[in-house]
Every structure is written in structure tokens, then in C-alpha cells.
Amino acid sequence: MSDRYAVIGNPVAHSRSPAIHAEFARATGQDIDYGRIEAPLDAFAPAVERFRLSGGKGLNVTLPFKHEAFQLCARRSERALLAQAVNTIRFDDSYGDNTDGIGLIRDFSQNVKLPLNGKSVLLLGAGGAAQGVVGALLEAGVARLVIANRTVAKAKALAARFPGASACGYDALGSEGFDIVINATSAGLAGAAPPLPDGMLNKSTLAYDMVYGRDTPFLAAARKAGARASDGLGMLVEQAAESFFLWRGVRPATQPVLAKLRGS
């Protein structure tokens, strides 16, 4: 029988992870079966336990459960400890890791092809996705990192864990420009966008939305303002490759899978 894995979240129907892992398995000759689990918002841990007891080998965790996943794992990688969020669980040794940060960094270097070193970055959101990338962005050498979130206290608590990051609410964002604006909110899933001041997105900005598979209002506004725009599909494929490596000890090639998903 194939080794079983899944992505767990709520909502999860939009996830492309099953298709990505099926491609990785085919390309590397690994015998895995990868599904989707929608966990009730108030019953994440029982859903994880059910999958484990039914023989599951590991899980990817998506919104809004990454912090709960962090709390569930007995052992955690250094990057998961920094993020206090887990997106990859390996059941054999109850190990939790966070591959979002490395996924974002690899997408910038290999697909977006924009060096992060020395750039000023505005990160929108303070949920599981934002928590996973702050450490990696600072490590990549960004010159300035501001975190803005609707619930300002969450942004401040996140920035307080990382020397080099600062935080504010959307209404406190002034006329200061940023080289890169990364939307790590889930607003796009509901057809909304974080409220940015006029002029924040312009011809010299790279606007990056972690949401993928739809044209979000954030990306549409960026293009209208003449900014370069990128969705989060590359990050998804890169973080998935790192999860696959953690589970299977084999590193799949990402470019062919990304090209296939983009239909090119």
C-alpha cells in the first residue's frame, strides 16, 4: 500500500498540494498517496489523530491551523520554533517543521528572480503564513521589514520576536515606499485586499500575493498601478518540495512542476 500524506486546513478545497505532490512522486518514483482533509475549525487535533491512527505518515498544515500544529508536535525544527507555526508534520518522530520561509526565499531566487538582500519589505498579515517567513526574510538580508496587520497587536507580538522587524496597523502606513510588498493575508480568498494607502504600489514595487490560483484584488491593484505582480504558486511548489524532502529524503525538481501548473 502507498504511504499516505495529506494537506489539512479549513478551507482546503482550493489547495493545489495534492497535484504538486503527485507530480513529485511520479518524477522521483516514490510510492505515495496524498489527499485533502478539511478539519472542523474547533477540532483540528482529533482530525490529525484520526489520520495518524489510520496509518497516515505525515501532513501539510494550512490555514488556520499552523499554530495548533506547532503545539501538537513533540519535536520541532529551529525554524518552526522561531515561527511558532508548523506546516509540515512527520508522524514517525512527531516532528514539526515550517517550510514556508525557505519556500518563499527559493521562489524569489529561482522563479521571481529578485534578490532580497538590501531590499525594504512590507509584509501584510500576521497569521501562520507571515509567522513562517519573517525569520527567513531577515536571514536573506532584507534592509528593512515592516509587518502590518488588521489586528495590530498580532503584528506587534510577531515583530517583538524578531530583532530587525517592526510593526504597525494599516492606518499607520504613511507615504514611505517599499521595494517589495508581500501579501500574507487570506483576504484574497474572500475577494478582498488589505487597505493600503494610495501610492504604496507603484512602478518600482514588486507586489507578491501568497494566495495562488486566482487573480486577487491586491494583484489587480498592483498591476493597475504599474507594479510587477507575482502570485504565490512558486512559493507553494518550493515549500512543498522541502516537505517532500523531509518525508521522503529525496529532493524533487520544482521547475517542471511549476511550469506544468502554470500551463506553460
Q: Beta strand 144-148 with 206-209: parallel, antiparallel or unpaired?
A: unpaired
- Please report which helix (H) or strand (E) contains residue 47, including its range: helix 44-53
Is 210 a residue that touches ligand NAP (CB under 6 A)? yes
Please give the DSSP secondary-structure letter assigned to residue 60: E
Query: Which are the contacts of 235, defined by CB distance < 8 A and separation ≥ 6?
Result: 100, 103, 104, 107, 210, 212
Instruction: Give the one residue of 194, 196, 241, 258 binding ligand NAP; rule: CB under 6 A.
Output: 194
Name the minimum Å distance from CB 224 to ligand NAP: 19
Residue 157 makes contact with ligand NAP by CB under 6 A: no
What would the x/- binding string for ligand NAP be over residues 69 to 88, using CB under 6 A? --------------------
- Amino acid 25 reads A
Nearer to ligand NAP among residue 235 and residue 261 (C-beta): 235
Minimum CB–partner distance for residue 213 and ligand NAP (Å): 9
Closer of 96 and 194 to ligand NAP (Cβ): 194
Which one of residues 63, 168, 221, 250 is an interface residue with ligand NAP (CB under 6 A)? 63
Q: Is 239 in the site for ligand NAP (CB under 6 A)?
A: yes
Q: How far is the CB of 12 from ligand NAP (least distance, A)?
A: 10
Which CB, 47 or 210, lies closer to ligand NAP? 210
User: Which of 57, 66, 113, 260 is labelled catalytic?
Assistant: 66
Catalytic (active site) residue 66: yes
Q: Which of 4, 16, 154, 228 binds ligand NAP (CB under 6 A)?
A: 154
Q: Does 45 bind ligand NAP (CB under 6 A)?
A: no
Of 90, 2, 79, 12, residue with least CA distance to 44: 12
CA pseudo-torsion sign 176, 177, 181, 187: positive
CA-based radius of gyration for the chain: 18
Q: Which of 36, 144, 150, 228 binds ligand NAP (CB under 6 A)?
A: 150
How many angstroms separate the CA atoms of 81 and 181, rounded? 25
Q: Where are the alpha helices (DSSP H) in the chain?
A: 17-28, 44-53, 66-72, 78-83, 100-106, 128-139, 152-160, 217-224, 233-248, 255-261
